[in-house]
């Protein structure tokens, strides 16, 4: 692995003072993730101060640290380590010649980011960079920038928000050449109050566009024109994707023999036919967003189709496990990473489309940050549950009671107080031929249920 940062470069970026010359090959602020050669940034915290873990970071192999108090070992001393991380991110962006894509949206931004990365990595022969996990906030974005190798051709950076103004700050740091909004849905409506306000907050992503920048906008939202108006102030070109009169749309999208979709897409200047292994109409939309991006950038859409066909399952976002039980196996669909009304409806519809199964079981936990709309939006999932022909549903927590009150008597309903109780309920009812969907907001912790159900089993993905 090549040198990512030299001590003199870190000094210049942060205004800090290096204890001695050094070079690093990576950057992290989590001592549990330190790899040999990393730069460890001792971030302040509300519970733990990162300085308490500097010694552990060096013991694990860190080559140096950024600190606000002297330590033993190679380091750069700064006044504020959080600001130093931002400075390092900006310096990385400044030195890079990469074509930068910024991604945001209420639904599908991480999945679309991963798909875009797979395409751009294939097009560039391995010279693409991306945000890992969902590092999309005020610390994750500068960290993703600081980790960007100096010689990459492309970078895909995800940006998220909970309040107005957050994406505006992030996009001015990222300075994308192309900004993509995947979808608008009532995620974080507790803090923003309305979908219109959510659309405005997502539209801030266009504020950081570079000269001649491109905006990619979803056509299938009542807020499309609102987003177009926001983009016109900053973008040189606007491309829409989705259905209807979208610039990039599916001419045909049918279920493939493997369960994904076979898609023929009309692009701006051509057509392309390809397959995706991911199930559900929401993944058709994700794929169209990727193709709109690739064609708008003037890149090879044929290679993009091949990369999308090869894209595997994403952990917590539709990853499929065939798990053995006495007498056969059942299908476990892991959507545990996050949830809002739109993604809940999409994945329930996908569960309803599963074929050659005996029963459909949904394990559903609360959707968070819905505020005063929580009861109404949880109850609004009832048609999706019923239309998916779910046989049994395990609902976790009091927030799910409005849904339970509507579907009880039409679907077998089990109420659980927490993830542990839901896990025991699921394990007690599993049998061969079941298809189990697991979905909730990430903070609910349903990933623990997935791991426990898989524990000791032989799985194929």
Distance CA 439, CA 260 (A): 19
**Beta strands 99-104 and 128-130, pairing class:** unpaired
Please indicate, yes or no, if residue 86 is contained in any of the structural domains. Answer: no
Does one domain contain both 306 and 345? Answer: no
Q: Of 57, 81, 105, which marks where a domain is finished?
A: 81
**What pLDDT, on a 0 to 100 scale, did the predictor assign at position 459?**
41
- Cβ-count burial 421-434 (b if 16+ within 10 Å, e if not): ebbebbeebbeeeb
pLDDT in tens, 2-53: 899 999 999 999 999 999 999 999 999 999 999 999 999 999 976 789 999 9
**What pLDDT, on a 0 to 100 scale, did the predictor assign at position 97?**
97
**CB contact at 8 A, 9 and 18:** no
Would you give the DSSP letter of residue 400? G
- Does the annotation flag 347 for ligand binding? no
Please state which of the ranges 167-171, 197-201, 342-346, 407-411 shows the lowest mean pLDDT.
Answer: 342-346
> Which structural domain, as residue segments, surrounds residue 385?
319-460
Which of 450, 452, 446 has the alpha carbon at shortest distance from 419? 446
Contacts of 95 (CB under 8 A, 6+ apart): 150
- pLDDT exceeds cutoff 80 at 134: no
Q: Of 52, 81, 110, which marks where a domain is finished?
A: 81
Does one domain contain both 300 and 358? Answer: no
The fraction of the chain above a pLDDT of 70, given in percent, is: 96
Please indicate, yes or no, if residue 90 is contained in any of the structural domains. Answer: no
| pLDDT mean over 438-461 | 78
| pLDDT mean over 60-85 | 97
Distance CA 328, CA 358 (A): 12
**What pLDDT, on a 0 to 100 scale, did the predictor assign at position 1?**
66
282 token code pair = 């929401």
Does one domain contain both 346 and 280? Answer: no
Please indicate, yes or no, if residue 291 is contained in any of the structural domains. Answer: yes
Distance CA 23, CA 276 (A): 42
Would you place residue 188 in the very low, low, confident or very high pLDDT band (cuts 50, 70, 90)? low
Does one domain contain both 188 and 296? Answer: yes
Read off φ and ψ for residue 200, nearest 5 degrees: -65, -40
Would you place residue 386 in the very low, low, confident or very high pLDDT band (cuts 50, 70, 90)? very high
Please state which of the ranges 274-288, 313-327, 331-345 shows the lowest mean pLDDT.
Answer: 313-327
Does one domain contain both 256 and 364? Answer: no
327 token code pair = 């007498």
- Does the annotation flag 107 for ligand binding? yes
- Does the annotation flag 397 for ligand binding? no
Does one domain contain both 24 and 154? Answer: no
- Higher-confidence residue of 459 and 323: namely 323
| pLDDT mean over 362-372 | 89
Q: Of 244, 276, 310, which marks where a domain is finished?
A: 310
Please indicate, yes or no, if residue 130 is contained in any of the structural domains. Answer: yes
Taking the whole predicted model, whether its pTM rises above 0.85 is answered as no
* Residue 40 belongs to domain with CATH number: 3.40.1390.10
* Residue 102 belongs to domain with CATH number: 3.40.1190.10
**What pLDDT, on a 0 to 100 scale, did the predictor assign at position 187?**
67
Does one domain contain both 273 and 302? Answer: yes
- Does the annotation flag 363 for ligand binding? no
Please indicate, yes or no, if residue 89 is contained in any of the structural domains. Answer: no
Would you place residue 461 in the very low, low, confident or very high pLDDT band (cuts 50, 70, 90)? very low
- pLDDT exceeds cutoff 60 at 458: no
Would you place residue 319 in the very low, low, confident or very high pLDDT band (cuts 50, 70, 90)? confident
Please indicate, yes or no, if residue 44 is contained in any of the structural domains. Answer: yes
Please indicate, yes or no, if residue 91 is contained in any of the structural domains. Answer: no
The fraction of the chain above a pLDDT of 90, given in percent, is: 73
- Does the annotation flag 108 for ligand binding? yes
Distance CA 23, CA 147 (A): 14
Measured in residues, the chain has a length of 461
Average pLDDT, the chain: 92
**What pLDDT, on a 0 to 100 scale, did the predictor assign at position 258?**
67
Please indicate, yes or no, if residue 87 is contained in any of the structural domains. Answer: no
**What pLDDT, on a 0 to 100 scale, did the predictor assign at position 342?**
79
Distance CA 364, CA 452 (A): 16
Does one domain contain both 334 and 413? Answer: yes
Does one domain contain both 256 and 376? Answer: no
Would you place residue 130 in the very low, low, confident or very high pLDDT band (cuts 50, 70, 90)? very high
- pLDDT exceeds cutoff 70 at 457: no
| pLDDT mean over 394-402 | 95
* Residue 391 belongs to domain with CATH number: 3.90.190.20
Does one domain contain both 272 and 363? Answer: no
Please state which of the ranges 102-116, 201-215, 314-328, 427-441 shows the lowest mean pLDDT.
Answer: 314-328
Does one domain contain both 76 and 157? Answer: no
Does one domain contain both 235 and 177? Answer: yes
Tokens 């968070």 belong to 368
Number of structural domains the chain divides into: 3
**CB contact at 8 A, 7 and 76:** yes
């Amino acid at each position: 692995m090549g040198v990512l940062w030299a001590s003199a470069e870190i000094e210049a970026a942060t205004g800090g003072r290096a204890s001695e010359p050094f070079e690093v090959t990576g950057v992290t602020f989590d001592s549990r993730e330190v790899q040999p050669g990393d730069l460890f940034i001792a971030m302040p915290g509300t519970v733990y101060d990162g300085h308490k873990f500097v010694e552990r970071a060096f013991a694990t192999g860190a080559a140096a640290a950024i600190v606000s108090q002297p330590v033993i070992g190679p380091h750069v001393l700064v006044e504020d380590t959080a600001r130093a991380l931002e400075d390092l991110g900006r310096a990385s962006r400044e030195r890079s010649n990469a074509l930068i894509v910024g991604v945001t949206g209420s639904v599908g931004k991480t999945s679309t980011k991963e798909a875009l990365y797979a395409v751009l990595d294939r097009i560039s022969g391995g010279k693409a960079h991306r945000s890992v996990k969902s590092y999309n906030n005020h610390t994750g974005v500068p960290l993703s920038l600081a980790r960007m190798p100096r010689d990459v051709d492309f970078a895909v950076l995800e940006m998220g928000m909970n309040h107005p103004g957050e994406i505006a700050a992030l996009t001015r740091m990222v300075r994308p050449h192309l900004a993509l909004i995947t979808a608008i849905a009532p995620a974080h409506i507790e803090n923003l109050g309305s979908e219109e306000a959510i659309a405005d907050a997502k539209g801030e992503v266009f504020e950081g566009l570079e000269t001649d920048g491109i905006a990619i906008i979803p056509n299938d939202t009542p807020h499309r024109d609102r987003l177009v108006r926001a983009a016109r102030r900053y973008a040189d070109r606007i491309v829409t994707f989705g259905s209807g009169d979208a610039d990039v749309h599916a001419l045909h999208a049918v279920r493939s023999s493997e369960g994904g979709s076979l898609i023929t897409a009309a692009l701006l200047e051509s057509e392309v036919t390809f397959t995706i292994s991911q199930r559900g109409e929401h993944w058709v939309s994700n794929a169209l967003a990727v193709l709109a991006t690739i064609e708008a950038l003037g890149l090879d859409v044929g290679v993009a189709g091949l990369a999308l066909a090869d894209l595997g399952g994403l952990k917590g976002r539709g990853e499929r496990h065939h798990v053995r039980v006495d007498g056969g196996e059942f299908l476990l669909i892991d959507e545990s990473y996050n949830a809002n009304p739109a993604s809940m409806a999409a994945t329930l519809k996908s569960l309803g489309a599963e074929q050659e199964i005996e029963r459909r079981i949904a394990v559903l936990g609360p959707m968070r940050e819905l505020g005063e709309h929580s009861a109404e939006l949880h109850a609004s999932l009832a048609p999706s549950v019923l239309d998916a022909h779910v046989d049994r549903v395990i609902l976790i927590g009091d927030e799910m009671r409005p849904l339970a009150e509507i579907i009880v008597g039409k679907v077998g309903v089990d109420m659980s107080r927490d993830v542990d109780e839901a896990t025991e309920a699921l394990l007690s009812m599993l049998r061969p031929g079941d298809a189990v969907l697991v979905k909730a907001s990430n903070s609910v912790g349903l990933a623990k249920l997935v791991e426990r159900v898989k524990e000791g089993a032989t799985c194929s993905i």
